[in-house]
Chains A and B, each alone.
Chain A
Amino acid sequence: MTLAAFLTLITGALTTAALSFSGIAMGVPLGLVLALVRWLRVPLLSAVVAVYVSLVRATPIVTFALFIFFVLPSFGIELAPVPAAILTLTLNTAAFNCEIWRGALEIFPRDQIEAARAHGMTTPLLFRRIILPQLWRSSIGPLTSEMTILLKGTPAVAVIGVVEITRAASRIGAETYRPLPPFLTAAVIYTLLIVVIVAGQRLVERRIARLYGYAV
């Protein structure tokens, strides 16, 4: 593999990392907002979110990416490949994160909520002071899983012309007729990215334990 090929792979890796990071950074909080809409049973909106989540869960990321890139322009929304890819990944992961947050909200101990209410807490205060600090504890594992799934789902946006690791690797393989080196490098890079995500999970878990005195 030439230096140029290697640099192509590194550029692809940076693209993958940037797409995943953007998707996670927006998709995790957006998922929480969607989950709250469902949990608070906000009239109408709650049903809209439910349909949205079902649709996203039923649709492959590739299809979703094509929809955003090729169909949205006919509604006057034209996006360049990278923004379209970020939007695709964010909206996709938000739906799954919504279900993770919602699950954690639904199993949150009722008696703690009642105690908060009996002590005069309003819903925003209850959420901010009692629920949210504990919600991380039960959600961080599943959220991390979803982050790794998102990262590994990024090759899907190659279909709208974004060159990420896998796309870069297959190009190099096709040009050099030696697919092993680029794909091996790609595998190593994916592994390193996943290691970073899991390290982030450990960091958050330790911080929760330090703040709130319990092991996760």
Chain B
Amino acid sequence: MDDQTLPAVSASRICKQFNGIEILRDVSLEVQTSETVCVIGPSGSGKSTFLRCLNWLEVPDSGAVRIGGRPFGVVPLSGGGTRPMSKTELAAARTRISMVFQHFALWPHLTVLGNVVEAPIHVLKRPRAEALEEGRRLLDRVGLGHKADVFPHTLSGGQKQRVAISRALAMRPEVLLFDEPTSALDPEMVGEVLAVIRDLAAEGMTMIVVTHEMGFAREAADRIVFIDGGQIIEVGEPEAFFERPATERARRFIARYMK
């Protein structure tokens, strides 16, 4: 099997507890290359935790994650079994899968362009000039080329989030994770961020988007994953999921949102 046929992301039977409270139970999901999957569900259902388990920001209690077919977070041993990755191995593995956060999490002491090129230069060791050129191109692409040299605190929320997307793209990741990318935004800024994500979907970026934006999920996702109570309740194509949900829980959730 070559890499093309392997799922870009494969999570199998992820379990996670916090202080004895079960957050995720046996969550399994495969995402194909170039697919956009939107993860929806009530607050506290575990969808953000699931996303954070995919890049080991939360370490699952059990279960396995593979990125492009390669185990993530653990190293297979020749005699069978696995061992946890060392910190260095984990850092290297994380360069393949990038993330956009709810509260942007830009680094305030760096300029906008500085934020975008920081990891490419210092983590990936790309030549500075090349990284700067690509950084400017990525900022142009999200409509913020003219803001390259200002500091993040001068930007609006929507602009910050677009910078964060450029920063994630600068890693040239195999997979892009979005953790509620528009939840911290004023309503009038949601659109500009969703437009960028929609463009990425159209270009074939592999993405997993945790979101409360049902309209966006319906329109931009290839598949919808509905999580409730720490479990995947239903997976389906957007049209089918929103029009004809198979489960009662999904039906009630949709009804509440579409009111």
Residues of chain A whose beta carbon lies under 8 Å from any beta carbon of chain B: 109, 111-112, 114-123, 125, 129-130, 133-134, 211-214
Contact = CB atoms under 8 A, between A and B. Distances in A.
Nearest to B96: A120
Given A118-B57, A120-B92, A120-B171, A125 B123 contact: yes
B207 to A, nearest CB: 15
B206 interface: no
A115 B107 contact: yes
A33 B109 CA distance: 22
Nearest to A122: B91
Nearest to A114: B57
A119 B151 contact: no
Contact of A117 (B94, B109, B122): B94
Band of interface residues on B: 20 to 34
Given A117-B57, A118-B57, A122-B87, A214 B92 contact: no
A176 to B, nearest CB: 55
A117 B151 contact: no
B107 A121 contact: no
Contacts, number: 78
Which of B88, B95, B118, B151 has most A Cβ within 10 Å?
Answer: B118
A209 to B, nearest CB: 11
A202 B171 CA distance: 38
Interface stretch (B69-77, B97-105, B134-142): B97-105
A120 B98 CA distance: 9
A199 to B, nearest CB: 24
B119 A120 contact: yes
Interface core residue of A119, A130, A133, A212 (most chain B CB under 10 Å): A119
Interface string B75-117: 0000000000001100110110011010111111111000000
Interface residues of chain A: helix, strand, loop or mixed (majority): helix
B202 interface: no
Nearest to A136: B109
Given A214-B108, A214-B153, A125 B122 contact: yes
Nearest to B164: A115
Given A122-B87, A125-B123, A134 B55 contact: no
Contacts of B99: 115, 118-119
A121 B167 CA distance: 13
A129 B122 contact: yes
B170 to A, nearest CB: 9
B78 to A, nearest CB: 26
A25 to B, nearest CB: 25
A72 B119 CA distance: 49
A120 B107 contact: no
A114 B104 CA distance: 11
Contacts of A129: 118, 122
B119 A213 contact: no
Contacts of B105: 109, 111-112, 114-115
Contacts of B153: 213-214
Nearest to B56: A117
B240 interface: no
Given A114-B57, A213-B151, A119 B171 contact: yes
A118 B87 contact: no
Given A119-B94, A213-B153, A214-B151, 4 more contacts: A109-B105, A112-B107, A122-B87, A214-B153
B246 interface: no
Contacts of B57: 114, 117-118
B124 interface: yes
Contacts of B95: 119-120
B171 A115 contact: no
